[in-house]
Each structure stands twice: as structure tokens, then as C-alpha cells.
Structure 1
Amino acid sequence: MGRRERKKLQSRRTILEAAISEFSKKGYKDTSVADIMSTADLGIGTFYNYFTSKEDLLFSLLERLSETIRMALAEARAAERTSLELLEVGARVTAKFLDENRFVMPLFLAGAQHMAHSAPTDGMPHGRHPHAAKAEDAAQEGKRPRRMTPQIKQVFTEIITEGQAAGEIRADVPVDLIAEMFHSLYQAAAFSHLELSFQENIALKTRLLLDGICKRSEGAARV
């Protein structure tokens, strides 16, 4: 990687870290692009060299969750964990990430919902910022296609499919239904009024779910 590429990578990382700091302090809605770039000590125009909007940046942060989950699962697979154990690892890592980055929660729960046509919330003047317009036009032309929904559910789907094939997970329940149930754990925990921390809530719900999908008839190990 050349010096220019390293500098660009560092600038993008700086913006993301500044966004995490500002979102954590003020929340997503009350944080502007100007706030983020002030913390990053970079000009506002630089923001649009890397992101089309504040929401685009938030999706990039959520993509970190997918990477974090895959790394944790790679370690678990190397240790030859069962599919049930892999699901527990995925659920635990996801809960930890969301707990430490609460501003990502609404986007995570929304799933595929995209608010591209919502009113501007970046504190910018009327119309699109010229840098934003350029970036968005490029994306529309297919020069830099964006995957706006994270692949978290797909990760769980793959593990469940493998578990059913290995006889570790019940095959009488559709894969998509089980994957949907894992995704719904976080919404239930987020709105829970029980005297449990978010991560404790997820851990207990996960244990119950895993117990329910375990294929006992073939002696699958409980988690």
C-alpha cells in the first residue's frame, strides 16, 4: 500500500472513530457532519470523499459488526465448535457490539429499511452538498455499488443450515424462521423492562432458543 492509500485509509478511520465518539455522546440524530469532522480535525468537504451521508457512515459502522462476528466465528470454527456453540458466539458478539454502540441499534433493528429519501439531518444548507452530490451520482452510475444492508442474518442462516445438515439442529423448523428468531432477540431485549443488563438478557434468551432448536433425538449436545 502506497503512502497516499495509507493516508486515505487513516483519514477514513479517523472519521469513523470521531463519529463513534460523537454518536456516543450526543446520539445519532443530534450529531451533525460538522460535529464529526470537528472532532476528526478535518474539513467538512473531506467527509464526502469517503461517505455520501451521515447514514452511509452509520452503515459502515454496522458493517464492522459483520466483520467482528465473522472473526469470532472463524476462531470458534478453528476450535471445532458445534453449530449451536457457533450460534451462541454470534449472538454474544452481536449483543456486546450493540451494547457498546447503542447508536447503531435503530439501524440494526430496522434491517433492510433505508431512509434515503428522508429529510436531511446533517445540518447542511438546502440541497445536497456538492461533494455528496458527486458521490451519490457515482454510486447511481454503478461505479461504487453499496450493500446497504449488513449480512448478519445471512451469517446465522449459514450456521443453522450447517447445523441441520450435521444433525445438531432440528430440521422440522425452517432455517429462515430460526434466523429470524435470533434477529428478534435484540429487539425484545432492547425494549425489555426486566432488571437485567442488555447482554445478560440476550444471553438468557439465546440459551432458551438454542435449547429449543437442539436436535435431542440424535444426541446433540446442549449449549
Structure 2
Amino acid sequence: MQQEISRRERKKLKTKKTISEMSLKLFYKKGLNETTVAEIMEEADLGTGTFYNYFESKEAILKYCLAERVANAQQTLEDIYTSGANATKKISQMLQVVGKTYEENQPLIGLYMNFYRNSENVDRKAPHGLRFKEILSSIILEGQANNELRRDIPPSIINEMFSGILQSTMGSNLELPFMENINHKLSLLLEGVIKK
């Protein structure tokens, strides 16, 4: 009986994945508002009514897909946090992971941000919550305790500086590859702008 439940759950997960993948394909091609549930389910080769067994709306698919990608990145961040590396190395690795996740998922993030920017009555809570800042804060405190990072600067300011690297890169109009942009900014923050 346990194996039957497991098989059923696997099938349900596979169906949900199919629906979400076909949805994204159509969203990228036609746009969220222009894509209908019927088109999604035709592309997924499933009955239209099946859609609502898995998602309450097209918008819920965006949130699900983004949350899934964030969860994968978050596990990597947790691994970095518990590693034996020093604080500077951990922070650098974190920015690399978050930056790479953003870069690889820009079309999805663009759809997500566009929908939530243009919608009034939606839950605007981001799917990733505050975990990135929590981990970053813990690493900063660890770095200060180990005398790796300056103690005369409040941890919240250091956290804001590192978070600012990501935000400024995400909004950058420079003709630089995304990760190169992050790496230059990280180098400036860690090593300074003055040539020694």
C-alpha cells in the first residue's frame, strides 16, 4: 500500500511539473495575461479541469516556479553557511549563487515582478522570504567575532552593502555580463577602489 501512495505522489508531482513547464513556455512566448488555462492544458496534453487540481490560478504557477528555483538556491546557501570557509569566502560564494540563480531565471523573475507590480489585490509576499538576509547576517556576525570583518561597522550596514551589490546589479544597464558585474562590485567592496 505504501508503494502505491508513493507511485501516486510521483505521478502527481510529474503532472504538476508538466503543467508548470508548459505554462512557462507559453508565458514566455505569449505573456501571462494572453495565455489561457485551456492553452496550457492543451500544451500539457491534459484536461482543462485538471489545472485546478494543481494550481488556483496562472499567477500561482509563477510563484510555484520561482519558489522551486529559490528552494534549490537556498539549499546551496545553507551548505555554504555550514561550510568551514571563512566569512569573506562564504559571502562571496553566497553572492555568486544568488547572482547565478537570478541570471538563469531572469525571464521568470521578470514575469513575476511585472505581474506583482501591475496587480493591486495580490499577496506580494516574495517566495523566498528573509532567509538570504538571515544567513548573511549570521555570517557577518561570525566574521566579526573571528576578527575577519570590521567590528566598528554595525552588521546591518555590512548586510545592506552586500545586498546592495545584488540589487544594483539586477537593475544595472551596463553592457557587462551579469556575473562579471557582481564580481567587480564585490571586489571593490572587499578590496577598495584605491590602488595600493
TM-score (norm. length: structure 1): 0.64
| Cα distance between partner residues in 2 of 1:153 and 1:209 | 23
1:92·1:199 contact (CA, 8 Å) conserved in 2? yes
Counterpart among 5, 20, 23 of residue 19 in structure 1:
23
In the alignment, structure 1 residue 44 sits paired with structure 2 residue 24 = no
In the alignment, structure 1 residue 7 sits paired with structure 2 residue 7 = no
- Cα 1:188/1:10, change in 2 over 3 Å: same
- Cα 1:103/1:82, change in 2 over 3 Å: same
Letter matched to residue 202 of structure 1 = I
Q: What is the Cα deviation at residue 163 of structure 1?
A: 2.7
- Cα 1:30/1:179, change in 2 over 3 Å: farther
Counterpart among 70, 80, 85 of residue 76 in structure 1:
80
- Helix, strand or coil: the match of 2:14? helix
TM-score (norm. length: structure 2): 0.71
- Helix, strand or coil: the match of 2:54? coil
| Cα distance between partner residues in 2 of 1:157 and 1:38 | 42
| Cα distance between partner residues in 2 of 1:154 and 1:201 | 24
Aligned residue pair count: 184
Identical aligned pairs, as a percentage?
35
- Gaps in structure 2 of 5+ consecutive residues: none
In the alignment, structure 1 residue 170 sits paired with structure 2 residue 178 = no
| Cα distance between partner residues in 1 of 2:44 and 2:81 | 37
Q: Which residue of 1 aligns with 2:37?
A: 33
In the alignment, structure 1 residue 204 sits paired with structure 2 residue 162 = no
Counterpart among 78, 82, 94 of residue 90 in structure 1:
94
Letter matched to residue 135 of structure 2 = E
Q: Which residue of 1 aligns with 2:175?
A: 195
2:77·2:97 contact (CA, 8 Å) conserved in 1? no
Deviates more, 1:80-89 or 1:203-212: 203-212
| Cα distance between partner residues in 2 of 1:28 and 1:182 | 33
- Gaps in structure 1 of 5+ consecutive residues: 119-145, 213-223
Q: Which residue of 2 aligns with 1:62?
A: 66
2:140·2:158 contact (CA, 8 Å) conserved in 1? no
Letter matched to residue 60 of structure 2 = D
Q: Of Structure 1 and Structure 2, which has the larger fraction of its residues in helix? A: 2
In the alignment, structure 1 residue 158 sits paired with structure 2 residue 135 = yes
Provide the aligned C-alpha RMSD in A. Answer: 3.4
- Helix, strand or coil: the match of 2:38? helix
- Helix, strand or coil: the match of 2:17? helix
| Cα distance between partner residues in 2 of 1:108 and 1:204 | 28
